[in-house]
């Protein structure tokens, strides 16, 4: 990093973190596209598509190009993540918490690159594909926290002196339960995928020792429990008068979960068509980001005497003399 690199305002840096977050969501969806088109083994080698050639040549189908383009998109995501790191170093009012979180994205992307190679070498084994997706979920969580923290006013690593969080203990417990249920639903969804028809390649193994119907029922049951937890959470939030911003976050999450659940039933009833499965993957990331965002909002420490304001809606400011 040279001194000639421009300094970034906190607002500009937060926009960079938003780009990094959405790029990570996009790569999850494009990765699902590789799997849904049966292109998981479109390239038999890594990092080149085939031994001795980086770009597909003489391919008889679109599968190698679909897989190769997804790898290029991974490169674009890597650039967005690198900009998040560099931006944290050039931000006016450099903060250690933002730098560490941005480096966490780098570590996650490197892990994904390694896992991508493992998935190819294991011929798209379902467990390897599960690991690839779950690491993506961890990366998205990291990006959500980074984006959230980038909105905090500068202080001691952005954490203001506080007397209490936005919500009370009961609501906080329910918020943590909602995050745990979202993770459980997502994990069950990967198992459904591993035992279903969209394993990534026609020749790929399936988790044949599992019944698709039974696993789908477990996934559905966990979704209903998740929805119940959210309803109870919203009721408790209303009783505690958490505030309009917290309620907006909860309502948005509840809406996304209902739509995602409805889409899941439709795709199951229609024979899991590729387009609906792809939308379901996108929905899973939106639910995951929304539940984390709500949890962060509820646990946000409030300065002594401050009004209840969600930092995600407050403009980032530069401290005097910063």
pLDDT digits (tens, 9 = 90+) for 123-139: 777 777 788 889 999 99
Each domain of the chain, given as residue ranges in start order, spans 1-158, 160-315
Specify the pTM: 0.82
Distance CA 223, CA 258 (A): 9
> Sorting pLDDT into bands at 50, 70 and 90, what band is 207?
low
pLDDT of residue 305: 43
Select from 313, 236, 302, 281 the least CA-distant residue to 35.
281
90: pLDDT strictly greater than 50: yes
- Give the helix/strand (H/E) hosting 162: strand 162-165
Distance CA 77, CA 86 (A): 14
Which pLDDT tens digit goes with each residue over 247-286? 999 999 999 999 999 999 998 888 888 889 889 999 999 9
Q: Express the helix, strand and coil content of the chain in percent, nearest 5 each.
A: 65, 5, 30
Distances (CA, A) of 138 to 199, 285, 296: 21, 11, 15
Do residues 304 and 161 lie in contact, with contact meaning Cβ atoms separated by under 8 Å?
Answer: yes
SS3 call for 134: helix
Beta bridge partners of 162: 303
Do residues 199 and 34 lie in contact, with contact meaning Cβ atoms separated by under 8 Å?
Answer: no
Distances (CA, A) of 66 to 43, 85, 211, 281: 9, 29, 30, 18
Distance CA 24, CA 17 (A): 11
Q: Stretch 219-241: mean pLDDT, rounded?
A: 93
């Amino acid at each position: 990093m040279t001194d000639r690199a421009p300094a970034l305002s906190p607002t500009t840096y937060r926009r960079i973190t938003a780009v990094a977050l959405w790029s990570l969501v996009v790569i999850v969806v494009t990765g699902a596209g590789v799997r849904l088109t049966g292109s998981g083994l479109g390239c038999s080698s890594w990092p080149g598509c085939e031994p001795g050639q980086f770009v597909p040549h003489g391919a008889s189908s679109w599968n190698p190009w679909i897989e190769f383009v997804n790898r290029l998109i991974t490169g674009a995501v890597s650039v967005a993540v690198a900009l998040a790191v560099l931006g944290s170093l050039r931000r006016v009012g450099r903060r250690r918490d933002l730098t560490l979180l941005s480096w966490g994205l780098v570590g996650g992307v490197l892990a994904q690159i390694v896992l991508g190679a493992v998935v190819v070498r294991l011929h798209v084994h379902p467990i390897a594909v599960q690991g690839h997706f779950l690491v993506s979920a961890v990366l998205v969580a990291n990006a959500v926290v980074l984006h959230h923290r980038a909105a905090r006013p500068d202080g001691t690593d952005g954490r203001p002196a506080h007397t209490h969080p936005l919500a009370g203990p009961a609501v906080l417990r329910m918020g943590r339960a909602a995050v745990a249920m979202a993770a459980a639903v997502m994990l069950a969804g990967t198992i459904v995928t591993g035992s279903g028809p969209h394993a990534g390649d026609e020749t790929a193994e399936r988790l044949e020792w599992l019944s698709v119907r039974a696993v789908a029922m477990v996934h559905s049951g966990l979704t209903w429990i998740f929805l119940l937890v959210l309803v109870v959470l919203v009721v408790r939030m209303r009783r505690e008068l958490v505030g309009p911003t917290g309620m907006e976050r909860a309502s948005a999450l509840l809406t996304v979960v209902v739509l995602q659940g409805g889409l899941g039933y439709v795709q199951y009833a229609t024979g899991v068509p590729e387009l609906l499965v792809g939308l379901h993957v996108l929905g899973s990331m939106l639910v995951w980001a929304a539940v984390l965002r709500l949890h962060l909002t509820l646990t946000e420490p409030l300065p002594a005497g401050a009004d209840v304001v969600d930092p995600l809606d407050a403009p980032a400011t530069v401290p005097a003399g910063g």
